[in-house]
Structure 1
């Protein structure tokens, strides 16, 4: 072997080793016990918007609910999937979501346009490396540490199950369709489904053990700071909160709600009234209430800069408005 041949062989070997190392690293799935997915309020409203690492990921009703990314100011939209998604979560440069081919982009052609695909998927934030983690008819999904907790729909009501983000260790957590979306500090807070409607806490790092937090008919819990907010079925589905340490309860919004979401400053909620239904906003203690939009609204989702929602009967249209109130609500249009 000549010196030139030896050098060439060594260079080729190094290139191959580098390519293999990059491929192995590319296939590794980062996961940490501290990982957390989407906001509970967003996920209670189908998880249509999720913000991570300077990007907003959203289900685009203008394109068959396909997964899109954009800047927080709504510029630079990019389509990431060619089928409808919801319950969007993510961490460590990866996205997790439920995808269902009952809605497909009009730009989809070939084999993908006729196959029936559904289940929980994982992909990179640029849409590449899409992997089906499980093929099942699922409901709500939340990233809780190293695991995805998800509902599975069954004829008997359903189950709560979990799977590690690297597609290992799938197991049944509970034989009822518990909502996993309210996740905070290692615990899933949920309303009982079959035996009661109390608020419970499931400790994900302690064998998914369950304890009762509050007794009553309470729904759609959201933990924020020292409090857990919830819709009170014993008080006409008004909004209440309780201190997690003391258990002390207090009413926040006396009106009947259909749904709500919240950030560090405000609560955004659908006021349920047959005569004057509307989208309203108030402070975290219930003050300074203002009407943002007249009509029956749902699917309230938040990013760092915008409020998104839908109007009853118009599932293929999403509205938006800046959180700073610089302009009123209008139809959100995002073309690829």
Structure 2
């Protein structure tokens, strides 16, 4: 064999090896998990308590589309350029710079769905997907609920036959899954990268959860439900006062009654708190909002019973309690203008 031919063969071999190495490096970089700073939160606490059906991050809104069997969609905050990211039926949506996280509940997808979701692997599970809708990863195969991203961990309610519902966490790459508490504590995103929750066992006090050490510290003693910690105030439903919407000032512990009667759910965003009023004695049921300053008066958004109040920078979204597939919207922090939830596809 001529020397030039041998040299050509060796050059060809080296080129092939370099190509293989390059492809391997490319796929490694594509498939490696990109991690977050420790103070990242995946959604707002108010959306979290309302099933996490909408989540805004970096100028995009990720949402569970009621017009497409609650599949995961993406759109602008103005409701334009909407498109599907995956066909999973989703709730408790979280997002960071690299991924969208959600609870998959394909067991409840429409029976007419041709994807045969009822035999799909891990049909009810905790998942992660890229922003482009590709490379779906299952973080927990078992039934999951109330997922909240904090830093590089998802805190969520895990269910299995042996222990029923308990508090778990898992790293965003699917490792380090562990049980944290035998109670199904709902850890909601709070100020400064912490989490907030009310007790379930011996009391309903409000606690702060440090995600760096997985330890708790007491914030407020009381009979409370669904606390939201915005850094300056803690909002909650006061169980001792017929579930009135209440807040305390964190430094002084001064307590203020916000709603005039019982509420069923609420959310806080910008200059307003939004809540579903349930005046049972007078049979008055209304979705309302109220400014956060003490002198603000209650405004009625819509008469009737509504749930799942989710808020983004442009809209407040809410669901008809008696017709779960009917959603509405009104502008955030602007004059009330209720419309049926709508968006424009790409």
TM-score by length of 2: 0.89
Deviation at 1:243, TM superposition (A): 2.2
The aligned residue for residue 337 of structure 2 is: 328
Instruction: Please say if residues 79 and 344 of structure 2, whose CA atoms lie closer than 8 Å, have aligned partners that are also in contact.
Output: no
For residues 112-158 of structure 1, what are the alpha-carbon distances to aligned partners after superposition, in whole Å with 9 as ceiling and x for unaligned?
56436110000001211111111112221101111110012357662
The aligned residue for residue 78 of structure 1 is: 83
**In structure 2, how many angstroms separate the alpha carbons of the residues matched to 1:201 and 1:234?**
21
The aligned residue for residue 226 of structure 2 is: 220
Is residue 115 of structure 2 the alignment partner of residue 115 of structure 1?
no
Instruction: Please say if residues 79 and 342 of structure 2, whose CA atoms lie closer than 8 Å, have aligned partners that are also in contact.
Output: no
Deviation at 1:181, TM superposition (A): 1.8
Query: Any residues of structure 2 matched to 1:58-69 within 5 Å, and which?
Result: 58-69=63-74
The aligned residue for residue 109 of structure 2 is: 104
The aligned residue for residue 316 of structure 2 is: 307
The aligned residue for residue 199 of structure 2 is: 192
Deviation at 1:309, TM superposition (A): 0.4
> In structure 1, which of residues 265, 268, 278 is the aligned counterpart of residue 286 of structure 2?
278
Select between 18-27 and 58-67 the one with higher mean Cα deviation: 18-27
For residues 275-299 of structure 1, what are the alpha-carbon distances to aligned partners after superposition, in whole Å with 9 as ceiling and x for unaligned?
2211111112351421111111100
**In structure 1, how many angstroms separate the alpha carbons of the residues matched to 2:225 and 2:302?**
24
For residues 167-196 of structure 1, what are the alpha-carbon distances to aligned partners after superposition, in whole Å with 9 as ceiling and x for unaligned?
111111111010012433243211111211
Gaps of 5+ in 2: none
Query: Any residues of structure 2 matched to 1:1-336 within 5 Å, and which?
Result: 1=5, 11-32=15-36, 33-104=38-109, 109-110=114-115, 112=117, 114-115=119-120, 117-153=123-159, 158-206=165-213, 208-274=214-280, 275-286=283-294, 287-323=296-332, 325=334, 328-334=337-343
Instruction: Please say if residues 58 and 68 of structure 1, whose CA atoms lie closer than 8 Å, have aligned partners that are also in contact.
Output: yes
Task: Tell me the C-alpha RMSD between the 2 structures.
Answer: 2.3
Deviation at 1:86, TM superposition (A): 0.4
Distance 1:112 1:232, change over 3 A: closer
Q: How many equivalent pairs are there?
A: 335
SS of structure 2 residue aligned to 1:300:
strand
For residues 199-257 of structure 1, what are the alpha-carbon distances to aligned partners after superposition, in whole Å with 9 as ceiling and x for unaligned?
11222212x22222211111111111311111111112112212223323222333321
